[in-house]
Amino acid sequence: MVNRAKEVLTSLLRSTFRPKENVSPSAWVEREIRLDAKTSNKPGRYSLRHTPYLRQIYDDVANPRIRKIVVKKGAQLGLTQFANNVVLYYVCNFTFPALMIMPSKEAAQQFCERSLTPAIYACDALRPYLTGNEDDLKKTEYLFTSCIVRIIGAGSPSKLASNPACLCIIDEADKMEDFGSQGEAPALELAEDRTISFPTDKKIIVLSTPTSETTSVIQSQYLLGSQSKYFCKCPRCEREQVLKFENVKWPNFKLEDGSYDLDRLEREAYYQCNNAECQARLTEVDKIEMVRGGEWRNTNPKSFPAEIRSYQISALYSFNITWGGLAKLFILSKDDVGKLRNFYNSYLGECFEQRAATIRKDDLDALIKDSPYYLKGELLSKPDVVLMAADTQGGNFWFGVEAVYPDGTSSLVDWGEAATFEDLEQVSRRQYKVRGAEEYHGIYKSLIDLGGNRTSQVYDFCIRTAFRFIPVAGRQERQGLYAPVRETTVAYKNYNLPALLINDKLFKDTLYLSCIKERSGKLLLAADCDDELKIQLSSERLAERKNSRGIISAEWICTNRRNHLGDVLKYLEAFKFRLEPELKVRRQAIAANEVNAVKELPKRQYALATEVRQYRADDWG
């Protein structure tokens, strides 16, 4: 407490956020940063001529009125170099600690090795701040005479929680799944906590390609801010415009077999000015002139731009990829929803939301055909874990059992109907044989739906089975669940029951769009799937819905009231998602041949099991 109070006091007593040198960050980086031939395709003095849109974003770093800078970005725009340069500028101009968070430990190490460390040695301005002791430049932690800089990977929240920082850069905020799956506190919140001791000087920089509208961190941050877009002038008509992919045009170069002549398409694609009276065909040469002459405009007048400056920029502005190159990438992606989503997210820097889909029996037949051959009741090989889920109806239950394998795939092993709680418990004790081997595996745990008016019966059942069954309920975002899954406890009789809340829409998307429609290869089905299963898995449809304020969203609608096995598989998707971090640890332990650790793991490592062990020992039966 004393230290903390001292920290706060010190930061308040210090002068406000003012750089040592009276020179703008953009001018500073162009003067001081050298790129070497090993790490850059443009070696020599760093120049904003290649990335003119970054100038204002650099200068925001020294603007004391801006607390947070958010960049929702496409690929090839130089933002990683930007993060690197901001760190160097900061070391030379400020004295507070800095923190950078990358999506993984590996990404953090790679960034330090390939980018930051070489840049530190190449920068003359930074030399006076080196301590002279090489040990002070550790792999991912750098001690300078002015300040300390730490680069960490997501997935180490405890480490994160211990380091205060005045400058905090979060790279690829949308890829930090490790934080999200632990419950409510996403990476950004943890990072914001780090800067709390520097209320007047803090600077948070969030960079990321977006993911889906509903779960994207960068999208929600972007919407809070100024929503600045980069406007360029058409060199013919001078109309100012934001570059949009629909204005990239290409002649129809279809070959006889229906495929495209991609090389020709790439060469001859062009950008069409969006002024209907001009429609000039603009080239890559025009692009350089347009982007160099462009400027950022705030498109969200209701925001508080002094607090949050948010930017969106797509690869259409990049000098490293041509408009034709993007057109080619689009053609290669357009027939595959997964690839198309990646094109939208990673190149256009936009969210991609599928708004309509119908699951048909054909989709399931195609998925069965794609799966390796196995029959109901068989495991394909030794699984990481076997999981079960049950859907509670007024007079019966539907259940499903899935095996999760080390390669990240899972197969539906067993499914059906159970009449009573006792029958359901019998099912949970079944053993499944590995195909072609004398090896059997049982079920680790089961989720059970809280089922409308049978909630207290379900709770009693969970207690009676010593939590071999864990209650689960689906939630919507409008009910306040923003995390994919949240572990919670329910006070019932003398117990605090563990329970899982899951994001309904998200896991229906995963099941129906990704696993079934796009056949991502993650879910496998048995060759002898029966018609009942196929009917129940094809009874939902994704459709657009407009709310009272005219905002369109997509929702899953059940078409025939027979979607119970669909719900079961949805719960299994959520269960797998929740256990993935622990399964990953276990796989790594197996890979490292820690045999003893592996034996112990199922009870010791799964958080849900740990939580259950906190209940009274005599409840274990």
Site for Zn ion, rule CB under 5 A: 234, 236-237, 273, 275, 278, 280
Residue 34 or 236 with smaller CB distance to Zn ion:
236
Residue 273 beta carbon to Zn ion: minimum distance, rounded to whole angstroms: 3
Contact between residue 165 and residue 97 where contact means Cβ atoms under 8 Å apart: yes
Quick one: 335 exposed, middle or buried, by C-beta within 10 A (0-12, 13-18, 19+)?
Answer: exposed
Residue 234 beta carbon to Zn ion: minimum distance, rounded to whole angstroms: 3
Cα–Cα distance for residue pair 254/265, rounded to 1 Å: 9
Contacts by 108-113, CB closer than 8 A, 24 or more apart: 108/140, 108/151, 108/152, 108/153, 109/139, 109/140, 109/153, 111/80, 111/84, 111/151, 111/171, 112/139, 112/140, 112/151, 113/139
Residue 272 or 488 with smaller CB distance to Zn ion:
272
DSSP label of 16: P
Q: What angle do CA 40, 42, 47 make, to 5 degrees?
A: 115
Residue 275 or 342 with smaller CB distance to Zn ion:
275
Cα–Cα distance for residue pair 187/169, rounded to 1 Å: 11
Residue 280 or 590 with smaller CB distance to Zn ion:
280
Residue 286 beta carbon to Zn ion: minimum distance, rounded to whole angstroms: 10
Residue 240 beta carbon to Zn ion: minimum distance, rounded to whole angstroms: 10
Residue 273 or 574 with smaller CB distance to Zn ion:
273
DSSP 98-139: EEEEESSHHHHHHHIIIIIHHHHHH-GGGGGGB-S-GGGB-S
Residue 325 beta carbon to Zn ion: minimum distance, rounded to whole angstroms: 22
Residue 262 or 278 with smaller CB distance to Zn ion:
278
User: Computed over its alpha carbons, how large is the radius of gyration of the chain?
Assistant: 27
Residue 85 beta carbon to Zn ion: minimum distance, rounded to whole angstroms: 34
Cα–Cα distance for residue pair 481/474, rounded to 1 Å: 9
Distance set, CA 101 to CA 80, 107, 275, 494, 617 (Å): 12, 9, 42, 42, 40
Residue 237 or 466 with smaller CB distance to Zn ion:
237
List the beta bridge partners of residue 408.
Answer: none
Cα–Cα distance for residue pair 22/301, rounded to 1 Å: 30
Residue 290 beta carbon to Zn ion: minimum distance, rounded to whole angstroms: 10
Residue 275 or 520 with smaller CB distance to Zn ion:
275
Residue 278 or 418 with smaller CB distance to Zn ion:
278
Cα–Cα distance for residue pair 386/401, rounded to 1 Å: 7
Residue 248 beta carbon to Zn ion: minimum distance, rounded to whole angstroms: 15
Cα–Cα distance for residue pair 498/540, rounded to 1 Å: 30
Residue 278 or 288 with smaller CB distance to Zn ion:
278
Residue 551 beta carbon to Zn ion: minimum distance, rounded to whole angstroms: 33
At 36 the three-state DSSP class reads: coil
Residue 240 or 477 with smaller CB distance to Zn ion:
240
Residue 241 beta carbon to Zn ion: minimum distance, rounded to whole angstroms: 8
Cα–Cα distance for residue pair 401/572, rounded to 1 Å: 8
Residues 6 or more apart whose Cβ sits within 8 Å of residue 396:
417, 418, 419
What is the phi/psi pair of residue 310, to 5°? -115, 140
Residue with tokens 């980069």: 230
Residue 272 beta carbon to Zn ion: minimum distance, rounded to whole angstroms: 9
